[in-house]
């Protein structure tokens, strides 16, 4: 005989408990979604605040000029060639926006900032896959606030999109190891192909994958899968040489010249450039937390730490040995660093802590400290230090000092706009170096040469035209204006003095000057010239 629930004494209490459990789970999911949304909003806010306060620097002008040329901008397409030293994934993407909305500083930087925010989301996905949701949130928070990533993704540079593709490839590699499904390996290979199309130097990350698989004998990969993944990567990468070949006009020869120039470039910084400049930009506390976890949790280390470590080690070693150094070159190491730091904060507090008041106290009681609280406090401390540093870089005080890749150049846009409005069409300018020349070409729409450009093809960017005989070019009327700027002068006393010698020799008259307000040691505010335009006559 079967009994009904009422007659059997069944109280029905399970249903409310299940409902309560579902409510708690839904509540936790809502909190996690809210936290992730807040992190992404923070990332967007830091990358969008004062985004158009300064004009482009040299690299931004070049990449935006390429995008404008692809979009058939009627003026810039005559000044900037489409094919230069790097592939065109980001420039092509940006050209799609230029084609619809027109060329503008704000739009170019907004697209780069959006890619930066998307990278923060990928870091969250990586953290969840490797160490759980809390670690994913911590890692995404650090990436959102990190000055290094904020500074670079606020500019029209190739490194932000390249790091997006690098992080995407890393995520696919993690999924491959976790599932052992070949499809994820092929996806990682496609991501590396996109990484190359964003910036060709990122091909060295293939070495990180190879080293990881070679040092992980437990992770078996079929030869056929390795072969097919290489085919996928090469097929994606082939878009660049194919486009150069189809474009014609000597594009293939120009690409070879770029390769020769890259191989024979002279060192631009000393060996200690990265150790002194990059760690403060990443965050000393982030690096310390990552290293602390690698040491204290060394017995728990496995393939994730090996993969992340190689993803850091390969670019750091390569670019430290490479003579040419740039502020943004080590950015691919940032995502694995924040993941390792988040791992430390999540894994170290393994047990709940209990605080006891002394027994003789009137209010003797045992306080249970939740396991997550120490890690949360550590994450908030690191996040606070990163936010303060990033906010200071978002709207820095005016300065005549400049590190390539670290931000816009004060006065460059204003000088170029003045030139476009006041100097006759067809005029030719000579600046100290190609950096200021690129900025004046982008904003001033006038032919501008760099005095420091070497006449030796081995030491010259093929896109730059050298000045063979400035004396003759001024006397023949080919060059009418010389431009001095403090940023280039700070890097080359010789060429600064050479340009000023020609200013004096050919009766240079100041026709325009850009200044910034600086504070002297005695506290007085003075205007310091940073860009001076001279008109010279034979």
With pLDDT > 90 as the criterion, what percentage of the chain qualifies?
62
Give 208's contacts (C-beta < 8 A, 6+ positions apart). Answer: 307, 310, 311, 313, 314
CA gap 434, 296 in Å, rounded: 49
pLDDT tens-digit map of 297-317: 989 889 999 999 999 999 999
Q: Answer whether residue 4 shows pLDDT above 50.
A: no
> 164 near 122, Cβ under 8 Å?
yes
Looking at 71-158, list the stretches that DSSP marks H as alpha helix, in order from N- to C-terminal side: 89-101, 105-131, 133-145, 147-153
Q: Answer whether residue 290 shows pLDDT above 80.
A: yes
Give 501's contacts (C-beta < 8 A, 6+ positions apart). Answer: none
> 533 near 510, Cβ under 8 Å?
yes
The H or E element containing residue 299 is none
Q: Which residue has the higher pLDDT, 524 or 9?
A: 524
β 428-431/447-450 pair status: parallel
**Tokens of residue 155, six digits:** 């500019």
CA gap 366, 358 in Å, rounded: 10
Mean pLDDT calculated for residue range 388-408:
68
What interhelical angle do 239-247 and 182-198 show, nearest 10?
Answer: 40
The predicted pLDDT at position 41 comes to 97
pLDDT tens-digit map of 488-526: 998 888 999 999 999 999 999 999 999 988 777 777 778
Q: Label residues 84-119 b or e (16+ Cβ within 10 Å = b).
A: bbbbbbbbbbbbebbeeeebebebbbbbbbebbbbb
> 311 near 102, Cβ under 8 Å?
no
The H or E element containing residue 511 is strand 509-519
Mean pLDDT calculated for residue range 330-343:
96
User: Which domains, ranges and CATH numbers included, belong to the chain?
Assistant: 18-266+275-347 (no CATH), 412-535 (3.40.50)
Q: Answer whether residue 230 shows pLDDT above 50.
A: yes
pLDDT-derived band at 86, boundaries 50, 70, 90: confident
pLDDT-derived band at 367, boundaries 50, 70, 90: low
pLDDT tens-digit map of 418-473: 999 999 998 999 999 999 999 999 999 999 999 988 777 666 667 788 888 999 99
Q: Answer whether residue 363 shows pLDDT above 50.
A: no
Write phi, then psi, for 355 (nearest 5 degrees).
Answer: -105, 130
């Amino acid at each position: 005989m079967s009994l009904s629930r009422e007659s059997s004494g069944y109280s029905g209490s399970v249903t409310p408990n299940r409902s309560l459990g579902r409510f708690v789970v839904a509540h936790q999911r809502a909190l996690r979604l809210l936290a992730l949304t807040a992190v992404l909003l923070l990332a967007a806010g830091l990358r969008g605040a004062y985004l158009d306060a300064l004009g482009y620097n040299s690299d931004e002008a070049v990449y935006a000029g390429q995008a404008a040329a692809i979009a058939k901008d009627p003026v810039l397409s005559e000044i900037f060639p489409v094919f230069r030293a790097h592939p065109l994934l980001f420039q092509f993407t940006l050209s799609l926006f230029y084609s619809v909305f027109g060329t503008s500083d704000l739009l170019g930087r907004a697209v780069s900032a959006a890619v930066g925010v998307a990278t923060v989301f990928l870091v969250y996905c990586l953290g969840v896959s490797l160490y759980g949701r809390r670690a994913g949130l911590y890692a995404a928070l650090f990436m959102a606030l990190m000055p290094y990533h904020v500074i670079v993704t606020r500019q029209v540079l190739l490194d932000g999109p390249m790091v997006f593709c690098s992080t995407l490839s890393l995520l696919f590699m993690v999924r491959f190891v976790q599932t052992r499904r070949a499809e994820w390996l092929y996806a990682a290979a496609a991501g590396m192909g996109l990484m190359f199309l964003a910036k060709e130097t990122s091909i060295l990350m293939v070495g990180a994958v190879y080293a990881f698989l070679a040092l992980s004998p437990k992770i078996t990969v079929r030869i056929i899968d390795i072969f097919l993944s290489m085919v996928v990567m090469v097929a994606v990468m082939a878009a660049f040489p194919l486009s150069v070949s189809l474009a014609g006009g000597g594009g293939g020869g120009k690409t070879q010249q770029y390769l020769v120039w890259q191989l024979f470039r002279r060192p631009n910084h000393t060996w200690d450039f990265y150790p002194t400049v990059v760690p403060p930009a990443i965050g000393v506390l982030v690096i310390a937390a990552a290293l602390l976890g690698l040491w204290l949790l060394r017995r728990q280390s496995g393939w994730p730490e090996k993969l992340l470590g190689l993803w850091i080690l390969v670019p750091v070693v390569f670019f430290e040995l490479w003579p040419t150094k740039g502020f943004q070159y080590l950015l691919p190491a940032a995502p694995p660093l924040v993941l390792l730091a988040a791992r430390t904060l999540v894994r170290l507090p393994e047990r709940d802590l209990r605080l006891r008041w002394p027994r003789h106290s009137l209010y003797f009681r045992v306080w249970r400290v939740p396991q997550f609280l120490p890690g949360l406090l550590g994450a908030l401390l690191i996040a606070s230090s990163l936010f303060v540093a990033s906010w200071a870089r978002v709207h820095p005080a005016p300065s005549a000092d400049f590190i390539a890749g670290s931000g816009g150049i004060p006065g460059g846009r204003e000088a170029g706009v003045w030139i476009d409005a006041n100097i006759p069409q067809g005029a030719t300018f000579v600046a100290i170096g190609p950096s200021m020349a690129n900025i004046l070409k982008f904003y001033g729409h006038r032919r501008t040469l760099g005095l420091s450009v070497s006449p030796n093809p081995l030491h010259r960017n093929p896109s730059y035209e050298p000045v063979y005989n400035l004396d003759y070019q001024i006397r023949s009327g080919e060059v009418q204006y010389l431009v001095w700027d403090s940023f280039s002068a700070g890097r080359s006393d010789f060429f600064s003095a050479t340009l000023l010698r020609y200013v004096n020799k050919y009766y240079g008259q100041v026709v325009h000057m850009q200044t910034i307000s600086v504070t002297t040691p005695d506290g007085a505010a003075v205007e310091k010239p940073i860009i001076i335009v001279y008109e010279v006559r034979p």
